Amino acid sequence: MAGERTIVVTGCSSGIGAHCARALKADGWRVFATVRKPEDLPGLETHGIEAFLMDYARTETISDLVGAVLERSGGRIDALFNNGAYGQPGAVEDLSTATLRAQFEANFFGWHELTRQVIPPMRKRGEGRIVQCSSILGVVPYRYRGAYTASKFAVEGLSITLRMELQGSGIHVSLIEPGPIATRFTANALAKIKEHIDLENSPHAADYIRQLARLDGSGPVNRHKLGPEAVLKHALNSNNPRPHYPVTTPAKQGMFLKRLLPADLFYRLMRWTD
């Protein structure tokens, strides 16, 4: 890609998005980063990053973002890193349809809208990279993460279909499937489970005690958890980017065991994984 490369990175208030935005800027990219709250803009702007407000659940903010980026860049978007998301914990039977729909608005439909809007300028240039920060839970299901798992399974299916449809266009689509990463993700998930799940009156009340301990940090520490830098640079610089990039040991093990084991044995094994 000749000239200054441009990339849109979403979910940059903290964690993976914030780290990748700053690191890509240092690596010579022109970074257009998004956050949902005005108070998160200065932390990016002080690093020379062009920051915007965007909410996946509000289509008008997506259109405003793309319009502003195209105006500033002279119509050029080389890459998109869809990253902004949240996890809604809770047993499937405890999830209201409204809660599940909100999860999909933020984690799936908004991603689709932004992706559709950046493809035309990429097609015009005949090249581009679309990198989706999925999750190992988009490949391997996990108890009490049904809403998040469903949204990531949807991202996986739609993205691989898009990858096949874009073959020959010069636009490459890849998925990153992180396992445990040290971010504010679990803290946000803790707030969501308390907001939307009736913890005390659920038939899963006893299990929720353990789930809350995992989310608030009082439970066992995951020794495989990596920092957000583990996600950086996958698929952006490769001449032949792969469709899948599992990140962290648990993610790689999960994908391997799913391929290796009979389905019934694998899902029984996952039933007792905590």
**Cα 53 from chain centre:** 17
Lowest model confidence (mean pLDDT) among 14-28, 35-49, 163-177, 210-224:
210-224
- Identify the top-confidence range among 33-42, 216-225, 226-235, 265-274: 33-42
pLDDT score, position 191:
92
Query: pLDDT at residue 18 above 50?
Result: yes
pLDDT score, position 38:
96
pLDDT score, position 1:
44
For residues 206, 211, 212, 215, the Cα torsion angle rounded to the nearest 10 degrees is: 180
pLDDT score, position 216:
79
- Order of strands, edge to edge, in the sheet holding 244-247? 50-53, 30-35, 6-9, 79-82, 128-133, 171-178, 244-247
Write down how long the chain is: 274
The pLDDT tens digits for 56-115 are: 999 999 999 999 999 999 999 999 999 999 999 999 999 999 999 999 999 999 999 999
Q: What is the per-residue DSSP string for the chain?
A: --SS-EEEE---SSHHHHHHHHHHHHTT-EEEEEESSGGGSHHHHTTT-EEEE--TT-HHHHHHHHHHHHHHHTS---EEEE-------B-GGG--HHHHHHHHIIIIIHHHHHHHHHHHHHHHHT-EEEEEE--GGGTS--TTBHHHHHHHHHHHHHHHHHHHHTTTTTEEEEEEEE-SB-SSHHHHHHHHHHHH--TTTSTTHHHHHHHHHHHHT-S---TT-B-GGGGTTTTTS-SS--SEEEESHHHHHHHHHHHHS-HHHHHHHHHT--
* Residue 13 vs residues 6, 29, 92: alpha-carbon distances, Å: 19, 18, 29
The pLDDT tens digits for 199-227 are: 999 999 999 998 898 787 665 556 667 88
Lowest model confidence (mean pLDDT) among 48-52, 204-208, 267-271:
267-271
Relative orientation angle of helices 249-260 and 263-271, to the nearest 10 degrees: 140
Active site residues: 148
Query: pLDDT at residue 162 above 90?
Result: yes
Q: How many CB atoms lie within 10 A of CB 60?
A: 9
Strand segments (E) across 18-65: 30-35, 50-53
Rounded Cα distance, 202 and 90, in Å: 10
Average pLDDT, rounded, for the chain:
91
The two tokens of residue 265 are 């044995």
Lowest model confidence (mean pLDDT) among 15-19, 145-149, 264-268:
264-268
The two tokens of residue 107 are 């984690």
